[in-house]
Structure 1
Amino acid sequence: MKHITIKDVAKKLNVSVSTVSRAFNDKYDIRTETKELILKTAKEMGYRPNPIARKLIQQRSLNIGIIVPEFVNSFFPQVIIGAQEILLAKGYQVLIMQSNESSETEIKNVETMLDNMVDGLIVSLTCENENIEKYKELIASNMPIVFFNRVVDDLPASKVVFDDYKWAFFATEHLLVQGHKDIVHLAGPKNLTLSKNRAQGFDAAHRKHKVPLGRKISCGFSMEEGARVALELIEKKEVPTAIFAASDPSAIGAMKVFKDHGYNIPKDIAFVGFTESRLAEHIAPPLTSVSQPTNDIGQTAAKLLLEQIETKGLFVPQTIVLNGRLNVRESSIKI
């Protein structure tokens, strides 16, 4: 099928290319009747504007890059859906890449996005978190970037985060109110701000209830990491009465190991997770978890990025902190 150009429309109507161009761009110096005829004829001929040419004229690619650590869990896809709702409505296309928790892959993703001339980036960092200097360089060059969920405090960019301290506090307090005095926190990677905040909330709840601080064990966000820590606790005979995990997957991985070793949940050991994954309601027993507003996180990040793009770097970085709720289920209710 032949691609209809602006020249074809001009030839059909026996007018100049510049006249057709003025009609398409709604210029003031063209008669209304002429403009309407040109637009009607172009539509009948199947003319579509050249998106590449339009982007060159606007000096924008109208592409936004979104980079996330993984797609295994529902959290990041749900955030992306929220961001897309805002960006697509504003005429932007979204390019999505995942770093598979690898800093090396993450930086390659960034370079690919830059090669595609994206107008801005929305990024959630990997656990390895080794590309901070590269992001500082991009920010210094006025590349619009918004970070979400996994952020570091010393990056001078806008961020969308969850109130991890507050909800870790409430999650731990829920276990303390159930009567648990020996609670282990499966902590996230130490170099992530959210991990630090969740660990601090865990400690604060203990202090409020005048209970000796619980143990914190370094753990990743995966089921495999949760299973590894659970097996170590069993082998060392250091099994607590409750576990508060920094992520649902690590909680679920640990739960499976304890169940396989004959432990009853929540009678022998109670569990609370974080992030409200889709699995939380469907495992046995259902997992108590902190729910985050994933759609709002994505939408807020997209709005901040568009604001930065439209102001052409004349902006003050903002940190938006969002709220959530604790969904209490069978895994943490004392029998």
Structure 2
Amino acid sequence: MQKEITIYDLAERLGVSATTVSRALNDNPRINKKTREKVHQLAKELGYRHNTIAANLRKQQTKTIGVILHEVNSYFATSVLAGIEKVTTPENFDILITHSAETAEREKANVKNLINKRVDGIIVSLAMHSHDTAHFTPLFEREMPLVFFDRVLQSADCTKVVIDNFQGGYDATNHLISQGCKRIAHITGDMDLNVYMDRFKGYQKALKDHKIKFNKDLVKVCGLNKAETTQAVTEMLEQKPDAFFIPSDFAAAVCMEILRNKDINIPQDIAVFGFNNDMLSDLITPKLSTIDYPGFLMGEMAAKTLIEQIKLRRKNKNVKDHTIVIPTEIILRESSVRKKAKTTRPHK
């Protein structure tokens, strides 16, 4: 096995100090141009490779950002990662991606692993059942740059990147009401999470603004996976709803499959509204009405904010925690549009 070339080998060949070689390789102006050119030429001839990891550790940085996703197999997740990468690549940061698979235990293990990997900062979206968030305490104690996105820690003072989930829930429900729906079933995820609680509050407010009495029997919480959604929709049909607002395009698509199998016409008998604007929402039949969730922009903003924090911390400057709200919009398609009436939005 061939020995790896080091700066000491280059220094010995050229008859200069290792410090001179190191500075020349980094194009330090303190080293004259002729010497720099000789060092670079010899390094190329001998196949010298700069040890970025070791150099960064000497600077007490790894140029690595940890990302904890609650899932990876969705259009939203890949969009977020693309947005993060757009920012990190020109800044020469690497990304270390982990995912919790919606379990709190795996999320805890991911946090511990990223701390051990000495990442410079972490971007997080919480797992569905991450109720005890004490595992983030070591990050706060170390003052590690940390940004939550999508599913965030509501009680903690930290930087968050979110959309207006309340408005999304309001707009979806308001549209269904404009189409003549009055018994709107709401199948949702764990309402300890901000995204589902805020969408639920928007749903309630739209009902109230249209003087439709809230009915708790039309609300059901589940895991929004195929099995639990199937059970929830089947049970909810006994309440004779005229619409479903399900804040997940995947779960809404499962709902539509059940309705089609029962020969229920969508949207005339029962309208369906999703959330996220996943790719499948425009591919299924009928096409699914939804709320656009700009994952790419969310990832971009989370990464940009985190790198700003990392740079401030290196200068021993304070980081001001804040919440960034990204705009979103309603997308109307065949699954919910019964008539051509324009959707109105009563004042909140």
TM-score by length of 1: 0.94
Q: CA deviation at 1:29?
A: 3.3
1:231 equivalent to 2:234? Answer yes
Cross-structure match for 1:75? 76
Q: CA deviation at 1:27?
A: 3.4
Of 203-212 and 93-102, deviating more is 203-212
Cross-structure match for 1:324? 328
Distance in 1 (CA, whole Å) between partners of 2:29 and 2:191 is 60
Cross-structure match for 1:25? 26
Distance in 2 (CA, whole Å) between partners of 1:14 and 1:138 is 47
The 5 Å alignment of 1:160-239 reads 160-213=161-214, 215-234=218-237, 237-239=238-240
The 5 Å alignment of 1:1-335 reads 1-213=2-214, 215-234=218-237, 237-312=238-313, 314-334=318-338
Change in Cα spacing, 1:124 to 1:23, as seen in structure 2 (3 Å) is same
Contact 1:83 1:301 in 2 (8 A): yes
Contact 1:223 1:251 in 2 (8 A): no
Q: CA deviation at 1:203?
A: 1.2
Distance in 1 (CA, whole Å) between partners of 2:104 and 2:133 is 10
Q: CA deviation at 1:228?
A: 1.3
Amino acid of the structure 2 residue aligned with 1:292: Y
Q: CA deviation at 1:57?
A: 2.0
TM-score by length of 2: 0.91
Of 157-166 and 34-43, deviating more is 34-43
Give the gaps of 5 or more residues in structure 1: none
Q: CA deviation at 1:65?
A: 0.8
Identity over aligned pairs, percent: 36
Q: CA deviation at 1:142?
A: 0.7
SS in 2 for 1:189: coil
Contact 2:152 2:194 in 1 (8 A): yes
Amino acid of the structure 1 residue aligned with 2:234: L
Distance in 1 (CA, whole Å) between partners of 2:191 and 2:54 is 47
Q: CA deviation at 1:113?
A: 1.1
Amino acid of the structure 2 residue aligned with 1:329: R
- Cα deviation, 1:67-113, whole Å, max 9, x if unaligned, reads 11112321112101111221122111111111111100110111111
Query: Between Structure 1 and Structure 2, how many residues are aligned?
Result: 333
Q: CA deviation at 1:123?
A: 0.6
Amino acid of the structure 2 residue aligned with 1:161: V
Q: CA deviation at 1:279?
A: 1.0
Distance in 2 (CA, whole Å) between partners of 1:3 and 1:131 is 47
Of 12-21 and 319-328, deviating more is 12-21
Distance in 2 (CA, whole Å) between partners of 1:119 and 1:330 is 46
Q: Report runs of 4+ in structure 1 exceeding 4 Å deviation.
A: none
Distance in 1 (CA, whole Å) between partners of 2:96 and 2:35 is 39
Q: CA deviation at 1:55?
A: 1.3
Q: CA deviation at 1:210?
A: 2.2
Amino acid of the structure 1 residue aligned with 2:108: I
- Cα deviation, 1:256-306, whole Å, max 9, x if unaligned, reads 112212211112100000011111111111111111111110011111111
Contact 1:263 1:269 in 2 (8 A): yes
Amino acid of the structure 2 residue aligned with 1:315: V
Amino acid of the structure 2 residue aligned with 1:306: I
